[in-house]
């Protein structure tokens, strides 16, 4: 069965179009999925604006989307545990399973990883903002009937945040500060709460996302749009999460933790190199830890969404059909009204 798919395809900065692309007959060992829902991520927005995110540069047309869920409509070869009609959350990562990081259990660091909707490799691996797309069975995690595709699509960003909290070590009873009140910041807050954190302060430069953080349960919020005096007046934190993707956010995170504190960098800074207050890392013996994507946390994320432990839909501020994805991305970019925008099939 050869068919066509309608896909949100990026051709260059601010040039995102819905394009019909032919699909090859389904390759052996693959499953074909009909789009159910897709979350628009900060990285999709960076790709849209600059045709790059961090050091990943788009060099040929790229179908966006890596936070996706849908229905299995075709299977070629064997797909243990899967059948057509299954509703699945789709893990955008394909790990090789045999490189050194994979053997160490650090799947997200796989040297041969394929990640949907990412320009980290050339040729790019196409994403899931497409009416039909293909995956390997290992990417598909079945969801119960009561879980909507919209919620299942957000397993991916939740997995990112579960991984970031795991990177922070034991956070039980600790005080944390979080730079960046977007979806990843907010989900990190919810994930940290689940891990037993005592107190979370959220820092941002925009009022609307901070108000949203308060509604979701932040203990304190600090607006540093006019300077960071209020932040400096607070006792140093045990843990800082840098989610803003800015050099200033990273510098503030390093400045805000106590001696012996932990800084977890989740945010993807603009490409290139930046001055960092590295002597503070030395003198305070700060553990500065990177956090990149996720490993087995994807499975955990689906479980936490399914059993109601984390209400990912509380972040969703708008739903739009896939067919108007370019408009939806522009809506998502407006932080005064959007937290998380989710694409739906219709
Ligand atoms: Zn994402
Ligand atoms: Zn590997």
pLDDT in tens, 190-211: 999 999 999 999 999 999 999 9
In this structure, which ligand is nearest to the CA of 109? 2
Percentage, residues of the chain above pLDDT 70 = 99
Grade residue 53 by pLDDT with cuts at 50, 70 and 90: confident
Least confident of 134-138, 178-182, 224-228: 224-228
pLDDT over 60 (residue 342): yes
In this structure, which ligand is nearest to the CA of 117? 1
Tell me which residue range forms the domain holding 40: 3-153+311-344
Domain-located, residue 302: no
**Residues with C-beta atoms within 5 A of ion ligand 1:** 41
Q: What is the mean pLDDT of residues 45-56?
A: 92
The CATH number that applies at residue 239 is 3.40.50.720
Query: In the prediction, which pLDDT does 2 show?
Result: 56
Predicted TM-score of the model (pTM) = 0.96
Q: Are residues 108 and 237 in the same domain?
A: no
Mean pLDDT, the chain, rounded, equals: 95
Q: Are residues 149 and 175 in the same domain?
A: no
CA of 128 from ligand 1 middle (Å) equals: 12
Percentage, residues of the chain above pLDDT 90 = 91
CA of 100 from ligand 2 middle (Å) equals: 7
Residues 222 and 199 sit within 8 Å (Cβ to Cβ) = no
Nearest to 68 by CA among 187, 143, 150: 150
Q: What is the mean pLDDT of residues 311-321?
A: 97
In this structure, which ligand is nearest to the CA of 97? 2
Q: Are residues 182 and 248 in the same domain?
A: yes
Report the domain count for the chain: 2
CA of 109 from ligand 2 middle (Å) equals: 7
255 to 182, 197, 282: CA distances (angstroms): 21, 20, 12
In this structure, which ligand is nearest to the CA of 111? 2
Residues 72 and 83 sit within 8 Å (Cβ to Cβ) = yes
Q: Are residues 180 and 286 in the same domain?
A: yes
The answer for residues whose C-beta is within 8 angstroms of residue 12's C-beta and 6 or more apart is 51, 58
pLDDT tens-place string over residues 140-150: 999 999 999 99
């Amino acid at each position: 069965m050869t068919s066509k798919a309608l896909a949100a395809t990026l051709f260059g900065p601010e040039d995102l179009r819905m394009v019909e692309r032919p699909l090859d007959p389904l390759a052996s060992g693959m499953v074909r999925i009909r789009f159910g829902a897709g979350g628009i991520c900060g990285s999709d927005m960076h790709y849209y604006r600059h045709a790059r995110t961090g050091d990943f540069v788009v060099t040929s047309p790229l179908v966006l989307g890596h936070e996706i869920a849908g229905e299995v409509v075709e299977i070629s070869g064997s797909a243990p545990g899967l059948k057509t009609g299954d509703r699945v959350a789709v893990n955008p990562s394909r790990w090789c399973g045999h490189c050194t990081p994979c053997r160490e259990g650090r799947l997200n660091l796989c040297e041969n990883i394929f990640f949907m909707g990412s320009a980290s490799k050339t040729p790019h691996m196409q994403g899931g903002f497409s009416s039909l797309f293909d995956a390997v069975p290992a990417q598909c995690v079945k969801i119960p009937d009561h879980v909507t595709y919209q919620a299942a699509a957000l397993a991916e960003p939740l997995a990112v945040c579960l991984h970031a909290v795991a990177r922070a070590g034991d956070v039980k009873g600790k005080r944390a500060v979080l730079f960046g009140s977007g979806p990843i910041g907010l989900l990190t807050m919810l994930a940290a709460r689940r891990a037993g954190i005592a107190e979370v302060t959220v820092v941002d430069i925009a009022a609307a996302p901070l108000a949203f953080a308060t509604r979701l349960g932040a203990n304190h919020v600090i607006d540093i749009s006019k300077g960071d005096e209020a932040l400096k007046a607070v006792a140093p934190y045990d843990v800082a999460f840098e989610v803003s993707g800015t050099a200033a956010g990273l510098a503030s995170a390093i400045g805000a933790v106590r001696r012996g504190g932990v800084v977890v960098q989740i945010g993807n800074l603009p490409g290139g190199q930046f001055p960092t207050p590295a002597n503070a890392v030395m003198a305070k013996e700060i553990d500065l830890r990177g956090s990149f994507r996720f490993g087995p946390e994807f499975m955990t994320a689906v479980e936490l969404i399914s059993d109601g432990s984390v209400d990912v839909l509380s972040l969703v501020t708008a739903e739009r059909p896939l067919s108007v994805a370019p408009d939806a991305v522009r809506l998502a970019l407006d932080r005064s009204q959007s937290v998380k925008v989710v694409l739906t099939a219709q």
